[in-house]
Amino acid sequence: MLGRQAAGVLQQTTPPAVAGFLARLLIRERGRLHVVPVDEIEWVSAANNYVEIHTGARSHLLRQTLREFETQPDPVRFQRIHRSAIVNLDQVRGLRPARLRRCCMAVRD
């Protein structure tokens, strides 16, 4: 019960996102709620019916498909670069060539 009330308060106090897009995530892990600002997300990967949110040294699982998730953050900042990955363009440090006319993307450490 307290978790729902806390989540409601956090959602009410969430600063307005750019043009109505997601500003932060509430992720439940091991009985706790974690607040993850969208600005801290480096990239997001698909994991069946979950997405894995990568933020620096940590990662979080969110029960949502990648297709559902990609409609929530600002599409100017978050781009799908592969069928199983979305990247925060503000976190991209560089690109390097790879085999078969592909490239690898480096994000901030």
Q: Which residues partner with 30 through β-bridges?
A: none
Q: Which domain holds residue 69?
A: 2-107
**pTM score:** 0.74
Average pLDDT over residues 11-15: 48
Give the number of domains in the chain. 1
Q: How far apart are CA 15 and CA 92, in angstroms?
A: 24
User: pLDDT per residue over 42-70, tens digit each?
Assistant: 999 999 999 999 998 899 999 999 999 99
* pLDDT single digits (tens) 63-101: 999 999 999 999 889 999 889 999 998 888 877 787 776
- Find tokens 């009330």 and name the residue: 5
Cα dihedral 69→70→76→78 (10° resolution): 70
What is the DSSP secondary-structure string of 8-38? HHHHHTPPPPGGG---EEEEEETTEEEEEEG
CATH of the domain at 32: 2.40.50.40
Query: Helix (H, G, I), strand (E, B), or coil: what is residue 6?
Result: helix
